[in-house]
Amino acid sequence: MTGAGAESLAEMLDERQHLLEIALWMFGSEVTADHVVQETYRRWYALDDEDRAGIAVPRAWLTRTAGSICLHLLAAPSRTPAGPTRLPEPVVDLAQHHVRFSQAMLARHDRVARRFAVACQTGDTSALRTVLAADAIVVSDGGGKVRAAVHPTYGADAVARLVEALLIGQPGTEVVAGSVNGRTGLVLRREGQAVAVVSVSVAGAEVTAVWIVLNPDKLQGWHRP
């Protein structure tokens, strides 16, 4: 599905990496960064069409909103239970803790993303529905050249149907789990030519957001001989 609004949707998907970098710089945590980005997009799509149309530079609006969310999180009072005052841990210990935490989060993301990948590889729509969070969202970018959704799709059932329509059961298509933007995602290829690149956001044991790039102009770097 293509048409009016497709270009704006593609722009929103393109800005995701920019927003992730902002949040990662602020917090150093991919989990928190994902939360910031998803909340930023939730606020964008909560606007009515007239309000969105009145935003001349969506990138600036998204950046300001993501920054505001980051500042709110930073200013939130600590939820550490009351108790004896503790001296700050040595910086080295904090750095080591952050590394271990990041590794654990990446491992969890990998496990969930691979469940999603297997469901797509095997065409198991029941398994696909199971791995999706109830409030999951999917955003796709066809660049006006291939079929994609004009607007974001919400809800596990609707997301599963769209993922099935766009990614599952395509004749002669190889579905491979691999690194996408530094984390496990999917690459779909047909005769060595990439036809889709998919990244996912994860919370707990579920996929909360699916980001699908179908625009041929953005897939050239993913082709294989």
Q: Residue 147 is part of a domain; what is its CATH number?
A: 3.10.450.50
Please give the pLDDT value at position 158. Answer: 94
What pLDDT score does 204 carry? 81
Contact 167, 188 (CB under 8 A): yes
Residue-level pLDDT at 80: 40
Range of the domain at 69: 6-79+89-222
Residue 104 lies in a domain: yes
> Is residue 135, in this structure, part of any structural domain at all?
yes
Q: Would you state the pLDDT for residue 118?
A: 94
When divided into structural domains, the chain yields a total of 1
The answer to whether residue 1 sits within a structural domain is: no
Q: Which two tokens stand for residue 172?
A: 């002669």
In 3-state terms, the chain is what percent helix, strand and coil (to 5)? Answer: 55, 20, 25
Within-domain flag for 203:
yes
Looking at residue 116, its pLDDT comes to: 96
Supply the pLDDT for residue 12.
Answer: 66
Residue 84 lies in a domain: no
pLDDT at 195: 93
Q: How many CA atoms lie within 13 A of 102 on its CB side?
A: 14
Please tell me the predicted confidence (pLDDT) of residue 11.
66
Instruction: Say if residues 196 and 167 touch (Cβ distance below 8 Å).
Output: yes
The answer to whether residue 178 sits within a structural domain is yes
* pLDDT computed for residue 4 by the predictor: 40
Mean pLDDT, consecutive 10-residue stretches, the chain (225 aa), reads 48 74 76 84 86 83 87 66 42 55 76 94 93 89 76 90 90 90 88 92 86 89 86
Quick count: other Cβ atoms within 10 Å of Cβ 92? 8
Strand partners, 173: 190
Residue 213 within a domain? yes
In a domain, 116, yes or no: yes
Contact partners, residue 129, CB within 8 Å, separation at least 6: 156, 157, 160
